[in-house]
Amino acid sequence: MVRRRTGRWKYTHQITIWKNDPDRTTATDGQRPESALAVCKRWAEVRPISGRERMLADQQQADVVYRVCIRSDDWTRNLTRKHWLKLNDGTRLNIKRIFDPTQEQRELELECTERA
């Protein structure tokens, strides 16, 4: 099923929004390992907007930046950079920026980077 809005965005991807479990425990080395909780699913438009390759620790690293548009609702307005998205193919996108382009609380645009 494809969700569409008249205008420039087409909601064709179903994404899952994740966050870390607030009750996760600290490991013996002092690190807090990731303990993911699925928060909700939403329809979204996902567009890659830029990419580059660079050397990092003597290895080729690819960075891809995406723009993700979702409908604004009570839950999505509370998103922070601590949340992340997963596409249906398993691609994880970390949220860099969240903004409401029209200031009408109808849609949110997320700028995300792909985690390799």
Tens of pLDDT, residues 98-115: 998 888 888 999 999 986
Judged against a pLDDT cut of 90, whether residue 44 lies above it is answered with yes
Residue 43 in any domain: the answer is yes
CATH (domain of 59): 2.40.10
Residue 71 in any domain: the answer is yes
| pLDDT over 60 at 83, yes or no | yes
CA-to-CA distance for 92 and 74, rounded, in angstroms? Answer: 23
User: Is residue 27 in some structural domain?
Assistant: no
- The whole domain housing 40 covers 3-22+34-114
Q: Cα–Cα distance between 115 and 2 in angstroms, integer? A: 26
Residue 46 lies in a domain: yes
Q: What is the mean pLDDT of residues 25-39?
A: 70
Answer whether 0.85 is exceeded by the pTM: no
| Mean pLDDT, the chain, integer | 81
State the DSSP string of 95-110: EEEEE-TTSSSSEEEE
In the chain, the percentage of residues whose pLDDT exceeds 70 is 69
User: Whose CA is closest to 87, among 109, 115, 61, 60?
Assistant: 115
Whether pLDDT at 5 is above 60: no
Domain count, the chain: 1
Residue 2: is its pLDDT beyond 60?
no
In a domain, 29, yes or no: no
CB–CB of 72/105 below 8 Å? yes
